Amino acid sequence: MLRIRADLVDEIVAHARREHPNEACGIIAGPEGSDRPERFLPMRNAAADPDYPGLPNTRIDPETGEKIEELRFGDTFFIFDSKEWLAVHREMTAREEEPVVIYHSHTQPYSEAYPSAIDVESALEPNAHYVIIGTKDPVRHELRSYRILDGVVTEEEIDVVESYMFAHTGADDVPDRD
Ligand SMILES: [Zn+2]
């Protein structure tokens, strides 16, 4: 399960709406081993840069069964800018943080808030919660979270809380009565 503060969810939604129809992407860092997302780090989607050459992709047309050769840009996938990612990674290491949440948006009318083949391939952080926000509807968004391990996608529940301090943390914190 992903437990996340409501203000961080608001940040993800705002970032995704700002970038639409390009995919927004970013990280929420937290203390190593805490599983607690705390620091919102929106990232640039390098595939949305005007000079991005496009990612060659082959897919099968679901109606005709024919192969379609296409180039994908920032409106159908995301890639962190390598320099920015390196800088963020260094900063997290120095602060003893890790990427607790790695989020991006899906924007196309046909796309669900579910990891694509590229998303699964590029998911290399075994401890991260992979959050996808769907923004195809201009008013209602869809927010879902996954674990991705060795190519296997498992959806998990999202618990949105006002504060981690008052979140239910288990029976050990309940004082004995009587
Ligand atoms: Zn995706």
DSSP letter string over 47-89?
GGSTT---EEEEEE-TTT--EEEEEE-TTT---B-HHHHHHHH
Centre of ligand 1 to C-alpha 120, Å, is 9
* pLDDT, position 165: 84
* pLDDT, position 59: 85
Closest CA to 10 of 128, 147, 127, 162: 162
Centre of ligand 1 to C-alpha 174, Å, is 40
Centre of ligand 1 to C-alpha 111, Å, is 9
Centre of ligand 1 to C-alpha 9, Å, is 18
Closest CA to 48 of 122, 104, 101, 90: 104
Domains along the sequence of the chain with CATH = 2-45+80-165 (3.40.140.10)
* pLDDT, position 60: 87
Centre of ligand 1 to C-alpha 71, Å, is 15
Cα-based distances in Å from 63 to 59, 67, 68, 111, 118: 12, 11, 12, 16, 22
Q: Give pLDDT < 70 ranges for the chain.
A: 166-178
* pLDDT, position 168: 56
Task: Output the six-digit token pair for 77.
Answer: 């996938």
Type of residue at 144: R
Centre of ligand 1 to C-alpha 116, Å, is 5
Distance (Å, rounded) from C-alpha 79 to C-alpha 75?
Answer: 11
Centre of ligand 1 to C-alpha 62, Å, is 19
Collect residues with CB below 5 Å from ion ligand 1: 116, 119
Q: Give per-residue pLDDT as tens, 57-101.
A: 888 888 899 999 999 999 999 999 999 999 999 999 999 999 999
Cα-based distances in Å from 91 to 29, 38, 39: 10, 14, 12
